[in-house]
Each structure stands twice: as structure tokens, then as C-alpha cells.
Amino acid sequence: MAKRLMMGNEAIGEGAIQAGCRFYAGYPITPQNELTAYMAKRMPEVNGVFIQSESELAAISMLYGASLVGARTMTSSSSPGISLMQEGISYMAGAELPCVIANIQRGGPGLGNISGAQGDYFQATRGGGHGDYRTLVLAPHSVQEMFHLTREAFDLADRYRSPVIILGDGVLGQMMEPMEIQPPKASLAKGGDPESRIQDPAKKDWILDGCQGREPRSIKSLILGENSLEKHNERLAEKYKEMEKEIRYEAVEIEDAQAILVAFGTSARICKEAMHRARKEGLKVGLIRPITLFPFPKEIILENAPRIKGYLTVEMNLGQMVEDVRLAVSGRCPVHFYGRPAGGFPEVEIIIEKIKEILG
Amino acid sequence: MKKILGRPESMQDVSTIYCPGCGHGIVHRLVCEVIDELGIREKTIAVAPVGCAVLAYQYWKFDTTEAAHGRPPAVATGIKRILPDRIVFTYQGDGDLAAIGTAETVHAANRGENITTIFVNNAVYGMTGGQMAPTTLIGQKTLTTPSGRDPKLAGYPIKISEALAQLDGTTYIERVAVNSPKNILKAKKAIKKAFQVQLENRGFSLVEVLSMCPTAWWVSPEEALKWVEERMLPEFPLGVIKDKVTSNK
């Protein structure tokens, strides 16, 4: 298939369209504005809904409404806007409503700056809002991946009836790369009614659409009555456990590696370059790139821990994913960290230096 | 013997949590009667609020969702844009609609979303035990205005319906009360009209219902009826505030 040059933000938008997303609501924020504009142009072409909402609070609540009647829904924002959406994400997790949320991260805290950063790892992987819940988190590291992980995200959201986060950053959002637009999923292309805004491959039997011929239903996150919320939370936890089936990562040259880099997204691109140069110098180094950040690919990290001299986690923050690496390693080998926050990029030379230190 | 009155089909046969003298039961019933009369029960999707009516989904016999505090108009927007042939309404209290959800209310109204809002104004936060609402009257004592609402410190009772009437996106707005049989009949007429506006795809409709909260007003149910008449009506006058349908005819 012919490749075309596309921007990361737009690739997310097209991935959503090809997945049958027919409802997008969002509020402008840099560095993800191209995505909002893309959806404004694209949604009417596929009989979808585009709404520029009055706030991120409203955007996620609009998704709550569109999702509970069965539509595939998406919103996007950048760090400060994602903070505002945490209310709705928690409600959707509680009410078990699927949706896809793209966070094109920028520097924080507060208004921060508009450079690419990875400071929202904790927020994305620990639930983010109030209450005992998690969301699936996918971390693309190329424009092509922004397209196809977004396309996949809708299936995952429906399968687990859960919000799914695409965790990108300003660099990935703004960069252009050649990529292939894969066609809509076969299941959608076959049976989908182009006039309908509900484009799910499988009919959902839990939605609200008027109680014709059945008992009325309710969709809510309010769960009263003795022990009922406890049971609900336990059931959600089982679902999060089940999500471990979806764990994805890329492992590069780890077989003979004595030091392994762990990085996601833009940091992983920098690590690939560092690894390439280090290998040329004869250094035995590999890379594990988590693609699902929750659930975290802890098995592969644990497996390799006893036989290597150490892990080096590289992030565009001051140390967030490194905690998950340490948990996975459980003390079986040293775990080092190198990171730069708020728009700073980890430097290839420093990564190589640190690899040398680990290898001794 | 001819049966002239019964439980509306749209109402579940259950008892509610509402206090004696509360107006919610009346407003619920009026909404249900209207939905029955219009024959739209099976195509209605309701959005319940946070507040005393948080359990409305247990009392209504149609599909109902429960939104975050203040967000029903945004949730209703999402529902209606996907399923434009369903009847979508929000049921909201004064705190939900005119404090925490002011932005969602104003912008759903301004977009002219083809939804209906039933806005229950009882000048107080009931569920949390009687704190100041945006519509609390000047001088009214609540848990958070123990010496009475002082406009210098806490502002004025907000007339959100009049404010919404200024927006080009709104079609029909009326203020009614449920403190007397006469007012209840008028309220029902207004609620029916609001739903008809939506059925005819004419845009955003809202009915503000002045309602009783004897518990948080510290008065008896009977005195609460007078409280509406004597204290609320001078601040919140009844009547049609905006009607683009009739004025366009």
C-alpha cells in the first residue's frame, strides 16, 4: 500500500475514523490542535459528530453520553486538559463506558510549557482520577503507531468496557513521517451502516436507546447498598487483571545484552539511536520498549533481570516509569535512571556513558 | 366505576426517599404524566442529576443515566447527537444547573441542543443538608449562610432562566411552581410544551420549577407552600420567559 506523509496528531484522527469512531468532542490546547482540527474536517465526511466543547470537563461528559448509547467516541487533549478530564474518566471507569482519550503530553506541572514531555505517566497508569480504577494505556513511538494503536484502542475499549488512553507527547504529535493508512476493520467494513453513528462491530446489549420491548435500564457509577460498591470494585479489579492479556512491548537485541534500556514513546526513539551507536562500539546493550504502559510488561523485565548487569530507564520526566521497572525487577539487578523533564531531551551521548558505567 | 386517576405508566411502583412536603415527587409525576400522554416512554433517555434526585433512575420507568454533578447538559448533548430521534431530557437542581454546571448549561443552551431541561429550584442544597444554593434568597439562613445570605459576601440569587433567555440558541423557557393545585396544572402544561418543542426539533427548552424543601428551609410542609408564594415568587416571578415558537407563528 502506498505511503503518505502524515503528522502524528492527524494519524491519531485517521486511526479513529478507520476504527468506526463517529463522535469526537474536544477543546483546543497545544500541542494537539491539529487533531481537533482534523476531526472537525473529517467527521462530517463520515456522518460523524464533531463538537468543540466549552471545556475538557464538558468534552469528556459528552463522550459519556455518546458512549452510553453505543457510539465509538474519542477526545484528545494535552496535559492540563487531561487533568480536567479526570472527573469524567473516573465516572466512565465506574460506569464501565468505553472511550479513547489521546494525551499529547506537554511540560508541567501547572500551565508548564508546550514542549513534548512524559510527565503524565503516573496520572495515566495509576487511574488518574478519584477512586479505585485503572485504564489501559498505549504508548506509540511513531506516526504509524499513532495510527494503528488508535485503531486498536477502540476494540480494546469495547472489549473491556473501559476508557483507553493513548499516551503520546508533543514531539510525536507534531512530527511528520511516511505512513500507511490501513483500511477499516473487516468487521466494520462488512456490516456497518454508513448512515448510523453507531459503528460497533458487535452489538452492545447494555446501552441505553429507549426501552422499547424491554425493561428500562440505567447506566451510572453510583452504587449504594451494603458491600455493593466493594463487589463492583473487585469485579473491576478482575477486569484489570484480565487486561494483562493485552500486554505489548518491543524488545530489541536483548538476547545477548548485558545492559538493557527501558523507554517508551519519544524517549524510546532516542534510546534506539543510542543503542545503535553503542552496539557499533561493541557494547552489549538492548532495549525494551513498553507499548502498553498499563498493564505494564513486567514479565519480560523480570525474566532478564537475573542475567544482566543492570537496567537503564530513560524518560522525559524525573523518574516515573522507573518505579514500575523497579517493581518488576524486585531487586534482582540494579535499576538506573536518566531523565529530563519539561521539554528537555535525554542525550544520546549521556545514555551511552551511562551504559558504559553499567557494563563497567 | 370509571378510573380517572392512577399511577403514570412511566413511574415505578416504589416509594421514594424524599422528605415529607418535598416537591420532587410532584415534579417527577408531572414529567411522567407528560411522557405518557405524548407516548414517548419507550424512546426517552433521561439524565439524572447529583442532588436529592440522584436516585431518579429508581423511580422512572424509562432509560436513565446518572451524570457527574453539573454535567447533565453535556451528557445529554452526547446522547442526542448520536440518537437524534430519541427524546432526551435532563432533570437538574439549582446547584447542579446554576453553580457547578453553569458552563455546561449555558453552552448546551447556546448551541441550541434539541434537548429539554427540567430545572428544580428550591433555593437550597438539600442532599448535603441545607447549604447555600446559587438561588438562595437574600437573608435566607442556610448552613453556609448562618446569618442569612449577605449579597456583599455571597452574591445574589441567580436568575439563570432569564440569563439563558438572552441566548439566541434557546427556544422555550418558562418558570412555574408546584406549591398549589393551580400552579401544578400550569407546571404540567409548561413541561408538556417543553417536550413538544423537542419533538418538533425546535431546539433547547427549559422549565424552571420552583419547588419546596421544608427540611432545609426549617419549616413545616404546609408552611413551605406559603414560603414559595411569599418569599420565592417576588424574587422568581412565574410565567413564560422566552417562547420563540409562539412568537414566530
Rounded Cα distance, A322 and A136, in Å: 19
Task: Quote the ipTM score.
Answer: 0.96
pLDDT > 70: percent of chain A: 96
**To the nearest whole angstrom, how far is the Cα of A62 from the nearest Cα of chain B?**
4
Closest CA to A90 of A47, A123, A133, A152: A133
Q: Find how far residue B2's CA is from the centre of its chain.
A: 33
Task: Name the residue of chain B whose CA is nearest to A196's CA.
Answer: B82
Q: What's residue A193's pLDDT?
A: 65
Q: What's residue B4's pLDDT?
A: 82
- Determine how β-strand A249-252 pairs with β-strand A285-290: antiparallel
Closest CA to B101 of B89, B122, B119, B114: B119
- A24: helix, strand or coil: strand
Peptide bond into B157 cis (omega under 30): no
Give me the residue from A25, A91, A218 closest to B57, CB to CB.
A218
CATH for the stretch A4-191: 3.40.50.970
Peptide bond into A80 cis (omega under 30): no
Is A208 in the B-facing interface, judged by CB distances under 8 Å? Answer: yes
Query: Which string of b and e fits A204-220 if b means at least 16 CB within 10 Å?
Result: beebbbbbeeeebbbbb
Mean pLDDT of the B29-53 span: 97
Cα first-last separation, chain A? 47
CATH topology of A4-191 equal to that of A249-359? yes
Least confident stretch, A319-333, B4-18, B77-91: B4-18
Average pLDDT across chain B, whole number: 96
DSSP secondary structure code for residue B9 in this structure: T
Residue B50 phi, psi (nearest 5): -95, 135
Closest CA to B167 of B123, B205, B129, B216: B205
**For B173-219, how does the pLDDT look when each residue is reduced to its tens digit (9 = 90+)?**
999 999 999 999 999 999 999 999 999 999 999 999 999 999 999 99
- CATH 3.40.50.970 for domain B24-247, yes or no, is yes
In chain B, where the domains are located: 24-247
Contact B189, B99 (CB under 8 A): no
In chain A, where the domains are located: 4-191, 249-359
Give me the residue from B61, B62, B71 closest to A61, CB to CB.
B71
**For A170-201, how does the pLDDT look when each residue is reduced to its tens digit (9 = 90+)?**
999 999 999 998 877 655 655 556 677 887 65
Options 3.30.465.10, 3.90.100.10, 3.40.50.920, 3.40.1620.10; CATH for A249-359 is 3.40.50.920
Is A47 in the B-facing interface, judged by CB distances under 8 Å? Answer: no
Mean pLDDT of the A1-16 span: 93
Residues of chain B contacting A205 with CB distance shorter than 8 Å: none
**To the nearest whole angstrom, how far is the Cα of B74 from the nearest Cα of chain A?**
5
**For A111-158, how does the pLDDT look when each residue is reduced to its tens digit (9 = 90+)?**
999 999 999 999 999 999 999 999 999 999 999 999 999 999 999 999
Q: State which H helix or E strand residue B238 sits in.
A: none
- B117: helix, strand or coil: strand
Give me the residue from B57, B76, B78 closest to A220, CB to CB.
B57
Closest CA to A170 of A8, A13, A313, A317: A8
Task: Report residue B62 as a C-alpha cell.
Answer: 424509562
Residue B54 has pLDDT above 60, yes or no: yes
Is A209 in the B-facing interface, judged by CB distances under 8 Å? Answer: yes
